[in-house]
A and B are shown apart, each in its own frame.
Chain A
Amino acid sequence: MGQQLFIFGAAFLGSAVESVEALTIVLAVGLTRGWRDPLLGAAAALVLLAALVLGFGQLIVTTIPDSALKLVVGTLLLLFGLRWLHKAVLRSAGVVAMHDEEHAFSQAVSQLGDATSRRDWVGFVLALKGVFLEGLEVVFIVIAVGGTGHGFPAAIAGGILAAIVVAATGLVVRRPLARVPENTLKYGVGVILTSLGTFWAAEGMGASWPLDFVSILGLVVVYFAASRVAIALIRRPALA
């Protein structure tokens, strides 16, 4: 039960971060070119992504031996999580500017303003591309987090709920979710995914952790401490 909740939470948080980025693109296109085509593009991307999750997820879970799956997916999850954590450390230390959805939104709007003379399918393709590319990360998070720990339904539920919550919020506010603390979320999810990746990769190697999945909490503490040390070593005055 605890492990299922952990899987659900990790999939939900990771997917929410990426959904905010996809929503920013759809909102920028919709507000500039009208809503019909961008919404159709977003819907088409969601269908493609769902097919990927169901197709690859089932294929991976049913054809690859459990230990090999844990080693490969754990290692990929470790690389993925460390990448987010590395970026979060640099942002928290003021080395790299914080990611700004408001800025990304206005940039997209101004680019679209130049393209208004083009045909309507521009809005469709832009929304499809944005949602599909951002959604690929959601797909990976859902497959990786759910596929190894027999928690596929919990991970899919987390991913879908995150997308629904973000989309509903976007419908209500019709503005980019600039107030979502994206960098903090990415920091937290980076720590969790790195810990899950280490846990599963080691299980795939044949190791058994003391206290089973509770060890993930210990790994979270270790990676969080390491990231704080890194931030303390390189801290600079914050960039905008």
Chain B
Amino acid sequence: MNNPYLPYPVRIDSVITETEDRNLKTFKLVFLNAEDEKKFAYTPGQFGILSVAGLGEIPIGIATSPTEQGFIKFTVNKVGKVTSHLHNMKAGEIMGVRGPMGNWYPWDLLEGKNVVIIGGGFAFTTLRSSIVYMIDPKNRSRFGKIDVVYGARSEGLLLYKDELAEWEKRSDINMHITVDSSSDPNWKYNVGFVPAVTRQKAPSAENAYAMICGPPIMIKFTLPVLTELGFPPERIISSLEMRMKCGIGICGRCNIGTEYVCKDGPVFTLEQLAGLPVEY
């Protein structure tokens, strides 16, 4: 019987500091055993559990898309015991990963639709996975227009800055990058909070789904904007976070009502959340 608690051994291939406050680092991981990479076949929206022997485990969204072969990437925020140790680890060191965990963004429903992606701060990781997946030549024709609103407090706190700039140049995706405020006269993009920029760019809700990930305050103020624009609750998709341990719906701690965020989520539509207790 396969043991879902046993991590696949991986080697850290590279560590990149993403943000100017150095609190976010992207880890590129390579499986020690080739067959483990096949077993880890994942879909954008899912997460993995990173395991550091001697410290513990943490649930982190998968930042790569399955269209990127040979490695997986996770962007980790430094908040506590495991993440602090992880931030001090270097290329070449060994750790573990379990997964893929959870459900994924509803790609079957998104076929032929326009997709509006709204992200804030470091919640952008599974959204990166989704964007890379959608604009891959094998997949692009499956989707309509793609609009992305992504903002952070300042330029230095945006993730994946090189990729954002590249996507901005493309014609098959509309990037609206924003910062809350800027004192940089050379800042080429938007200035303003994500909800305000969303309202300003007013992506159409016609035949469209909205995918939103970000800090609670951003979500709180962006949801009314999406509703105004005409997105019904069943077409607004969000990904939640919870304290997790097993990641497989057994240890009992990450529930919202009947749903385990690790197994029945983390992706939920607003319609689903409306039927659950507000305990998140």
Pair from one complex: no
Give the A-binding residues of B (Cβ under 8 A).
Answer: none
